[in-house]
Amino acid sequence: MKKSWWKEGIVYQIYPRSFCDSNGDGIGDLRGIIRKLDYIAGLGVDIVWLNPVYKSPNADNGYDISDYFDIMDEFGTMDDWETLLEELHSRGIRLIMDLVVNHTSDEHPWFIESRSSIDNPRRNYYIWRPPTDKHEPNDWQSIFSGPAWQYDSNTGEYYLHLFDKKQPDLNWENPSLRKDIYAMMRWWLDKGVDGFRMDAINFISKVPGLPSVGSKLPDADRSGMQYYINGPRIHEFLKEMRTEVLEGHDILTVGETFGVSPELACRYTGGDPPEIDMLFHFELMKLDQKTSDRFRYTPWKLREMKEIIEKWQHTLHGRGWNSNYLMNHDQPRAVSRFGNDGPFRRESAKLLATLTLTLEGTPYIYQGEEIGMTNPRFESIDDYRDVELFNHYREQSAKGVPDSELLPGYHRFSRDNARTPMQWDGSTHAGFSTGTPWMKVNPDYSEINVHTELSRHDSIYEYFRLLIKLRKENKTLVYGDFTLLDPGNPRSFCYLRRDDEKTFLVTLNFSAKETELPVQTGSSGNSDNGGWEIKLCNYPESGKKDIHSLLRPWEARVYTKI
Ligand code: ISL
Ligand code: CA
């Protein structure tokens, strides 16, 4: 297997709007990030991924770009961005930028021209269709609720928007559009960026003719997704991007790809060179969300989580490359979702970190995960900020669904769960801003914050640091193979990571009950430890001398064979 820095590296994701506000306007910014670089570097991460910082009217917090070549006013200037890049590089940290090219803002000059007349040269930069029987051209639904088409009275046609109506989809069938996108990517590479996280990248090729779903399919399939996910020309476009832009650059590319199987992931990430280096799949994110209603909870079992992880580890081993994440800016807080944000918050935050950082594939840590931040439970819809939620709310309340029925779903699944301001200390607004934050701080900030965390010798941050160090010192944890132990065990998740040199055993108790280990690792007071030496444990008495045969509630241990 080919080795590379982006396989061995660890990524820290920053959502700039919510990270640190340097000038008191309530919005996080680039200067704020610069202030906190030693904190980030202290974790031992090698790569920072920034969510979009380009000019944007912020219908979807920067995922609606109006100028690819400039920085959003609220976040600072291009000079600030250059300083950030220099400061990261001087600490040995690389920077990857979000690349949003499935759509732009409706305020992008291309779209303004495109909508101006049917024969404008930019008309075909977007996807316009005349009405069908005075209605939408097809029955596709927007991922953010309602039809995926918006009527424009100026020319009497509809344009396609898979996300909000302020995010019109670009027409990748048009070679001039592709040329412009590639030129923009080269421009950022010339500025020194180290890679791209490609937003919704497997949505860019739509099935020609844009067929309607029709009424035959069950409800879950009515979105039209089958006509644009991994569409007919996606591999061709990515290969073209590779030759036109990426070839000859030693960078990292990661695709955000909803609806990809492990086999397909091998096709995307397995070539030489690969179409994209790695991708984010959504199978774990669907564990507790199995219906088409984004805000409906479905119970999940640890066994299912193990099956998914095992399948991805096995299928991609030697044939592609994984990326591992338990949350990001679109998902609930991992500790609230997969862990226990009550009495075992600290233990379970560390346990989840152990999982992310001991699998094959590149690990991604999202801001606040390293201090165990939790989901807020805002009591009023007004406290939320996300366009996805508001569009959903508008649709549901128009149908007469009361707030009290909608709030539990928002508490659990709103993307704002991950977007509340970073909790730096116990002062007003958690030290995020001296002004009024753009979104309320989670009320638990006086207990959960960086300052409190760093003052403890057993902090979650410190545990992340130790795990990262262990991974860096042991390439077996990066490249080794994966064997699941005791797959049917409903409470413990245990596995081996192995190569010619070493074997690691990871044991995770995903429950508040004591659980037996599937492997003989010796017991308290017993010198026969089965040849296992403990390297890391999320309980205070690191277990070095005292090796229990039972896993305590939410206990995580990493052993190595001696
Ligand atoms: O398709 C999905 C589920 O039905 C989504 O998970 C989809 O893949 C996801 O919403 C795409 O997210 C990305 O693009 C959005 C932006 O709002 C998100 O923040 C971004 O991560 C539009 O640019
Ligand atoms: Ca600011």
> In this predicted structure, what is the pLDDT of residue 541?
67
Rounded CA-CA distance 287/298 in Å is 8
Ligand 1 atom 15: residue of nearest CA:
63
Angle, helix 345-357 to helix 460-473, in steps of 10 degrees: 20
Residue 529 has pLDDT above 90, yes or no: no
- Residue 32 Cα to ligand 2 midpoint, Å, equals 7
For range 429-440, the mean pLDDT: 98
Rounded to whole angstroms, how far apart are CA atoms 347 and 380? 31
> H-type helices in 191-327, by residue range?
234-241, 262-269, 302-316
In the structure, what pLDDT confidence band is assigned to residue 215 with cuts at 50, 70 and 90?
Answer: confident
**Residue 225 alpha carbon, nearest atom of ligand 1:** 1
Spatial neighbors of 389 by CB under 8 A, at least 6 apart, are 381, 410, 414, 415, 416
CA 195 to centroid of ligand 1, rounded, Å: 19
Q: What is the pLDDT of residues 96-108, one digit of tens each?
A: 999 999 999 999 9
Question: Which residues sit with Cβ closer than 5 angstroms to ligand 2, an ion?
Answer: 21, 23, 25, 27, 29
The answer to whether residue 32 scores a pLDDT higher than 60 is yes
CATH code at 109-160: 3.90.400.10
Amino acid at 66: S
What ranges do the domains of the chain cover? 7-104+175-454, 109-160, 478-561
Whole-angstrom distance, CA of residue 116 vs CA of residue 237: 28
The third-level CATH classification (topology) of the domain covering 478-561 is Immunoglobulin-like (2.60.40)
Residues with C-beta less than 6 Å from any ligand 1 atom: 60, 63, 100, 143, 163, 199-200, 256, 258, 329-330
- What are the backbone dihedrals phi and psi of residue 450, each rounded to the nearest 5 degrees, phi first? -60, -45
Quick one: pLDDT at residue 531? 87
Smallest CA separation from ligand 1 atom 18, residue: 330
* Res 525 pLDDT > 80: no
- The ligand whose atoms approach the alpha carbon of 293 most closely is 1
**Band (546; pLDDT cuts 50, 70, 90):** very low
* Arch. (CATH architecture) of 7-104+175-454: Alpha-Beta Barrel (3.20)
Same fold, 7-104+175-454 and 109-160: no
The dihedral through the CA atoms of 332, 337, 338, 339 has a sign that is: positive
CA of 66 to the centre of ligand 1 (A): 18
